[in-house]
């Protein structure tokens, strides 16, 4: 495979170099979980294998045990920790002047009539000393989208530039998770056409990183469903009946809460009691003896 898909390792290395001011800005943007992706990586061969297990049409991931995992934006939020606000991100150009300014500033010609904003350019920009906080937010957003919504040629696409306007304007109110999932399915659709036609595909885009951690999604989904069940009226009545149940006596309650209690503990107590009784009997005078051990004389 020609490209390193979803290079989380690079993103982790970049955010590690941030000082306290840049970390505060990222935190306020709602991307605080990305500050902890240090040493996170997804090998290329594993990313390629995961891509072959996705049913794009039904939006499902086929696990090795045969289970079909339904893909949704909640999984993206759980694993990547991106903001999932109520507002959708713009799909069309919102501020043409801003997009033109950023493109002209960070555009680099690479020869052979190839130009664009490359990932290395964005990395150098966010690692440079902070100059304008608003522009840092915009460039950091471009870098995050370029990694999480990566294309096979690693350049910033026009679609990735459209949300740049809201990157510095309350980004937590927008749904970034849907963009990541949509871009992944778009990339996997092109990948599957080549893979199933030729048995091999040369490249892959999109973010398959969150697909590599389905158990975490299941654990959080189970916790969510459990919380919903506890909040239901029927479960609340059961909880109330348990809370109002009569208490056990103190000795029984202590025994019930003590680990290892039960028949084993009762048998142990009975054995101790028998031992004490046997010891007490051994200290009592036997029949035909006085208390001081002398032989008793029968009385006529």
Read off the pLDDT of each residue in 272-291 and give the average, rounded to a whole number: 56
Question: What is d(CA 19, CA 135) in angstroms, rounded to the nearest whole number?
Answer: 17
Residue 51 lies in a domain: yes
Please give the Cα distance from 238 to 253 (Å, whole number): 21
User: What does 183-236 look like in DSSP terms, one character per residue?
Assistant: HHHHHHHHHHHHHHHHS--S---S--TGGG-HHHHHHHHHHHHHHHHHHSHHHH
Terminal Cα-to-Cα distance of the chain (whole angstroms): 116
What would the pLDDT profile of 220-257 be if each residue is shown by its tens digit?
Answer: 444 444 444 444 444 445 434 434 444 445 444 444 44
User: What range does the domain containing 89 cover?
Assistant: 8-218
Q: Is residue 195 part of a domain?
A: yes
Give domain status of residue 271, yes or no.
Answer: no
Looking at the structure of the chain, the number of domains it has is: 1
Say if CB 156 and CB 142 are below 8 A apart. yes
- Is 119 contained in some domain? yes
Q: What is the pLDDT of residues 186-230, one digit of tens each?
A: 888 888 877 777 777 666 666 777 666 554 544 444 444 444 444
Which among 5, 4, 68 has a CA at the least distance from the CA of 207? 5
Residue 64 lies in a domain: yes
pTM of the model: 0.65
């Amino acid at each position: 495979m020609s490209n390193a898909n979803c290079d989380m390792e690079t993103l982790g290395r970049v955010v590690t170099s941030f000082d306290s001011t840049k970390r505060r800005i990222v935190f306020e943007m709602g991307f605080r979980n990305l500050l902890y992706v240090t040493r996170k990586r997804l090998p290329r061969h594993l990313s390629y294998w995961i891509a072959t297990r996705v049913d794009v049409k039904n939006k499902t991931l086929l696990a090795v045990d045969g289970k079909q995992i339904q893909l949704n934006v909640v999984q993206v939020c759980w694993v990547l920790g991106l903001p999932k606000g109520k507002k959708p991100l713009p799909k069309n150009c919102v501020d043409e002047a801003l997009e033109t300014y950023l493109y002209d500033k960070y555009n680099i010609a690479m020869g052979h009539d190839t130009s664009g904003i490359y990932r290395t350019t964005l990395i150098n920009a966010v690692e440079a000393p902070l100059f304008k906080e608003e522009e840092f937010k915009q460039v950091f957003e471009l870098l995050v989208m370029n990694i999480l919504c990566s294309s096979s040629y690693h350049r910033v696409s026009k679609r990735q530039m459209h949300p740049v306007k809201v990157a510095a304007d309350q980004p937590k109110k927008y749904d970034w998770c849907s963009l990541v999932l949509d871009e992944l399915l778009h990339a996997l659709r092109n990948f599957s056409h080549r893979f199933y036609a030729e048995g091999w595909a040369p490249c892959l885009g999109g973010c398959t990183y969150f697909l590599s951690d389905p158990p975490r999604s299941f654990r959080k989904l189970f916790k969510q469903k459990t919380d919903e069940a506890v909040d239901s009226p029927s479960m609340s009545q059961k909880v109330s009946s348990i809370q109002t149940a009569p208490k056990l006596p103190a000795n029984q309650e202590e025994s019930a809460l003590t680990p290892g209690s039960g028949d084993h503990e009762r048998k142990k107590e009975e054995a101790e009691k028998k031992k004490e009784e046997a010891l007490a009997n051994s200290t009592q005078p036997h029949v035909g003896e006085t208390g001081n051990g002398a032989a008793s004389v029968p009385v006529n």
